[in-house]
Amino acid sequence: MNPAAQPLLANWIGYTAGTVVFGIFLVLVLKDLAARGLRGAWRTVAAAALAFLWNAGALANLFVDSFPLRLVTSAALSLLPALLLDLLMEGKTRRLILAAYAVSGLSVLLHALEPFLSGLSLHHRTLQWTAIGFAPLTVAALLRLRRQRTPARRAGAAMALLLFALSFAHLHSQDAPHAWPVELLVHHAGIPLALWVLMQDYRFLLLDAFLRFLANILLAAGFAWAGALLAAATGWFDYRTLPPSRVVLLGVCVTLALVAFSALRGAVQRLLTRLVFRRGDAEALLERIRRVPVRDETEFEEAARAEIAAFFHAERQAAAQAGAPALPLGLGRRAGGRPYLSEDLALLRKLETLVNERLEYHREQRLRELVSQAELRALQARIHPHFLFNALNALYGSIPREAKAARRAVLHLAEIFRYLLKGAGGLIPLEKELEIVEAYLEIEFLRLGERLKWKLDVSPEARAVLIPVLSLQPLVENAVRHGVAPFDWPGEVRISAHACGDQCEISVRDTGPGFPEDRGAQGIGLENVRRRLALHFGEPRLSARREEGFTVVSFTVPAASPATVNADPASGEGEPCGF
């Protein structure tokens, strides 16, 4: 191949790989959002779309020399680091984020002015200026993340973002014969670096599916490249005599053919297994086992083993027969004398692991519940309730009838104490806790006066939803304490609850500036709420964020009937609505 064409080949390979990688990621993200109904993920979708547009546009520019196309591609690349910084900082530190968008906006403007100032070679200079502009911003973001003691992976993502911004700068002349290794390893390093930042908030199945698919493509591409080298070495076919576009097109076609072969091979194997060996859908069986509720360990084991035995058409026995291999889950011979294939034995081991994991999870949840109840009883034992109510009754009787506000405050206080000491912290209707919340707000109004305003927006169906005792009141108290009380101007607390499918989102908003930086969305009250939610519903469902000038703390609970609320949280039925 002509040495002068080597940098072009590097760009072909890099932009083709980027288009495929970000295209797959964007499709999976959109599919996941449609399936789960997640909100607040617009930054991820927009960043993935810009990354795809950048690579696809740059690839198209290798075919067509069009200024509008080049402008769109450059604009996507210029806006991407600002959006990635916004995503990394989770919308916080607005000054830093606004500065990043300002740098990106200036870069887009300079690219648009390129035809009018052609003598200044604006394209490459603007990329270099953008890299220089984002370097201090990403360093500031990294320092802020370190100061906030965020997880190491987010600090690593900030470093990746810094390197991504620096990869904008071309450190060579593209016409130089030695330039293609630098072009591929430095400039196109922005592809995996941008991908790393995008993946920070994806710890669910999407990440697994994406990485598996990407690994298949990279493996196929490696085989295609090795085949091309072998063919050139043996003199059978020399790819170096082809134009760069033909080389890349050939490599893409061979790679896709290998990926298609792998997928088709797996599909044919599964079809043969079902038709010839009459085996059912293993994934459907695993999903059914995940959905079996664990209320009693013995009942769960019986139900799971019955499902598995029916799937394999096998007998159930307490011990293996003499001379027969020991089988998991107490299975015996299959109907018709059919043998257990290697795939069957592997599936049985996987099912046994799943059953044991579900049982272990149930035991841990029961232990946490017992510990939590013991902690609550210990707190309740510290003060005798009769003393409290006798003292409040005496105080109420000593207040003149004309002091209606004071008498009402004592009644509210007694109501709150009665609520706090009523039991072992189970589930109650939201409407009951709202009564305590309103009593608490009435007391705080006596202290803060017109500085405190509040608003309830609770749908009728949400009032019947069951929530853990003291899961809403601490959030309201936190909002008053940090969002209203410290300031001399009026503040507002908004409480809302609305059902969304099989979930109900309950949120508390306040007009304060947010959580202190040294404390974050922590604190004893919020941590107790988080623990109660995890105890009853199997996972932390508490979210703290800034939204349209409000500090918002929200959580979700099942919008289910009382008979089904305590269903096993690992059953997978329903997803949180709202985040």
Do residues 38 and 68 make contact, with C-beta atoms less than 8 angstroms apart?
no
Do residues 217 and 261 make contact, with C-beta atoms less than 8 angstroms apart?
no
492 — phi, psi (to 5°)? -135, 145
Q: Name 556's bridge partners.
A: 505
List Cβ neighbours of 484 (8 Å cut-off, separation of 6 or more).
448, 451, 452, 491, 492, 493, 510, 511, 512
Q: Which CATH number fits domain 423-571: 1.10.15.40, 3.30.450.40, 3.30.565.10, 1.10.3720.10?
A: 3.30.565.10
Question: Is 297 in a helix, a strand, or coil?
Answer: helix
DSSP code, position 175: T
| Contacts by 203-210, CB closer than 8 A, 24 or more apart | 204/32, 205/32, 206/28, 206/29, 206/32, 209/28, 210/24, 210/25, 210/28
CA dihedral 479, 480, 483, 487 (to 10 degrees): -170
Predicted pLDDT of residue 171:
40
DSSP code, position 423: S
The pair of structure tokens assigned to 20 is: 């495929």
Predicted pLDDT of residue 487:
87
Do residues 424 and 373 make contact, with C-beta atoms less than 8 angstroms apart?
yes
Do residues 40 and 579 make contact, with C-beta atoms less than 8 angstroms apart?
yes
pLDDT tens-digit profile, the chain (579 residues):
555 555 566 677 777 888 888 888 888 778 766 545 444 477 888 888 998 998 888 888 877 878 888 889 888 888 888 888 888 887 678 888 899 999 999 988 988 887 777 666 677 778 788 888 888 888 888 888 777 666 666 667 667 777 776 666 654 444 444 444 555 555 566 677 777 777 665 544 456 666 677 777 778 888 888 888 888 888 887 777 777 777 777 877 888 888 788 878 877 876 776 665 556 677 788 888 888 888 778 888 888 888 888 888 787 765 444 444 556 777 777 776 677 777 778 888 888 888 888 888 777 777 667 666 666 665 555 555 555 666 677 777 777 877 777 788 888 887 777 776 664 457 889 999 999 899 889 888 888 888 999 999 999 999 999 998 888 988 999 999 888 988 888 999 999 999 888 889 999 999 988 765 434 445 566 777 888 787 777 666 788 888 888 999 999 998 864 434 443 333 333 333 443
The pair of structure tokens assigned to 101 is: 């968008």
DSSP code, position 320: P
Q: What is the reported pTM?
A: 0.45
User: How far, in Å, are 2, 221, 251, 256, 258 from residue 244 at the CA level?
Assistant: 10, 16, 11, 18, 21
DSSP code, position 116: G
CATH code of domain 3-202:
1.20.1070
Predicted pLDDT of residue 78:
87
Predicted pLDDT of residue 320:
42
The pair of structure tokens assigned to 515 is: 């959580």
List Cβ neighbours of 398 (8 Å cut-off, separation of 6 or more).
none
Predicted pLDDT of residue 375:
61
How many alpha carbons fall within 13 Å on the CB side of residue 377?
Answer: 7
Predicted pLDDT of residue 575:
38
472/439 Cα distance (integer angstroms)? 13
